[in-house]
Structure 1
């Protein structure tokens, strides 16, 4: 792929990363003379994943906001479908875990304002997590991945009751497969900010069913139990976003953003500008680091709902690639041999 020119326009320069459904490349738009990113759909993906790929393009095309990655085009060549999107320089939000309160508030406020803009246009993200957010060198948030974003009028591409999203950041209603509204993103952003402020997730276990149960039933510990000197106002704001009942959370992202701004410590608020700290060093973040290949997985289980839920989770994580799944091992293995 490196060196190819797709549609006689997009010159592929380097591979940026591999996901379970697409590979991302840095490219040059030779017609407009600008760098772009190409998100190329992998050929083996299921039909519902293909539908979500085009759904991402449709959802993102409705949005024009400085904190949301822009989409420029969708195209295909020789049966290979790809999105042309804004190329964003920066570091993943995970590099800002943990952060001091003023950074949590400033970055959280930007995320909330971007999602408020999307919600006003009836777009629910459904998969807010650090891996889907970048921070530019100027300290600007960019929400990167709209692969699970759902326009209000869109047809479902997952079965009713299917759990979709990333378990550690799922709202209780997502964990139960219930219908969703914009308040699901409020909860997920609360999880992200809890992790940024404390360095730990509010709910964390290697057992996915246990984690989903915690999201539904277990109240989070106050942040001050992890960080004793955290401002009480910030503690209260994040805990309110993490209420189990949607009616007890902030009802809009605008309200969440305003509450975060009001929680800014006085010393930081008096500063002429809030500067985000440099991202922590990451052993895998170097520009010359090779792209990591996803772990290829074959799933065999006769419990269809459990199997489909696990597939949905794995496919949302770029570290895994599900190459076959069926009710028995022979059938799953046969799927992999046919690839």
Structure 2
């Protein structure tokens, strides 16, 4: 048996019964299995034991156990060689990758800030004990039906992609700044359903202008200024308006906790042909491509202001109707209390005619 000869129905380590294939990444496979001793589902990630990356993969899995934050899927076991297969056993969770959600549509400001704020807080706790993920992406962040976040691949994902030096993957060092940059990219993807810096997890590349990444507010209408600024403080080189850059996961989590949802939520993306030229304007946007409100547009007017204006108008009309009613009632009362008997106009005219004839 090797990493790719495993089949459903097999039992590994005398307790893990393989159920079905859950996914494949970097020539490794992840299976859902049943722990027959504890009667619970687990995830088993396998690869051939003679793979050059197997040793680093298992070492990274063991090292990740120093991180106790429950938002990381916990490693339960790591086996170097069983029938030609090296594998790592993890907790199992019923959730979907963030990439699946983003392929459907972008997220609202509040939801994006909350989810990535949770990821950033978990990553900050890992950094406190000297552990780095280095491959944070929409594929390694899992979200369940209640928007509870779980993170997989702590250390091991980097080991799978590393080639040559064990401390590098795809030419980038594995350190705190690698995680900070990845958090900014995932936040950007949550807001516009595009990936900054190429294709990733099935998402199209984010547009650029003169070699600089367009900020989220220029890609999709409804992105709040707060969360847009957080993105720029992570990814901007340098950040606009001389803003202080965010250089730690803890700083990112704190900044996202202060984000307000001050723009309408998106109803979907409708790219114009200009998007292909790197100068995108969206059909649903009332904002010009330079980030300023478009002439005649009202889409960015806060909903609360509109409601307040309508309420004031209704109140003014009610007051006006009240005073008109009182004036009409006063005029009627004055007519009823005038001196002398009331003579209909027609009768008075008829009585005046004989007097005029006698005269």
User: Taking structure 1 as the reference length, what is the TM-score of the superposition?
Assistant: 0.64
Aligned counterpart in structure 1 of residue 100 of structure 2, from 71, 95, 98: 95
- What's the CA shift for 1:229? 2.6
Aligned counterpart in structure 2 of residue 66 of structure 1, from 65, 70, 75: 70
> 2:257 aligns to what SS in structure 1?
helix
Instruction: Report the Cα distance in structure 1 between the residues aligned to 2:107 and 2:49, rounded to whole angstroms.
Output: 40
More contact order relative to length (CA 8 Å, sep ≥ 6): 1
- What's the CA shift for 1:95? 2.7
Instruction: Name 1:51's counterpart in structure 2.
Output: 55
Structure 2 vs 1, CA of residues 69 and 178 (structure 1 numbering), >3 Å: closer, same or farther?
closer
Q: Which runs of 5+ in 1 are unaligned?
A: 151-156, 166-176, 269-339
- What's the CA shift for 1:99? 0.7
Structure 2 vs 1, CA of residues 162 and 30 (structure 1 numbering), >3 Å: closer, same or farther?
closer
Instruction: Name 2:145's counterpart in structure 1.
Output: 137
Instruction: Name 1:3's counterpart in structure 2.
Output: 9
- What's the CA shift for 1:254? 1.2
Q: How many residues align?
A: 242
1:37 paired to 2:43: yes
Structure 2 vs 1, CA of residues 245 and 162 (structure 1 numbering), >3 Å: closer, same or farther?
farther
The C-alpha deviation readout for 1:274-319, integer Å capped at 9, x for no partner, is xxxxxxxxxxxxxxxxxxxxxxxxxxxxxxxxxxxxxxxxxxxxxx
Instruction: Name 1:169's counterpart in structure 2.
Output: none
Instruction: Report the Cα distance in structure 2 between the residues aligned to 1:104 and 1:245, rounded to whole angstroms.
Output: 23
Conservation of the 8 A alpha-carbon contact between 2:168 and 2:174: no
Instruction: Name 1:121's counterpart in structure 2.
Output: 129
> 2:68 aligns to what SS in structure 1?
coil
Write the mapping of 1:95-244 to structure 2, written as runs, cut at 5 A: 95-97=100-102, 98-146=106-154, 147-149=156-158, 158-159=163-164, 164-165=169-170, 177=171, 179-204=173-198, 218-244=211-237
Instruction: Report the Cα distance in structure 1 between the residues aligned to 2:140 and 2:175, rounded to whole angstroms.
Output: 20
Conservation of the 8 A alpha-carbon contact between 1:35 and 1:87: yes
- What's the CA shift for 1:205? 6.9
User: Taking structure 2 as the reference length, what is the TM-score of the superposition?
Assistant: 0.61
- What's the CA shift for 1:266? 6.5
> 2:213 aligns to what SS in structure 1?
coil
Instruction: Name 1:22's counterpart in structure 2.
Output: 28
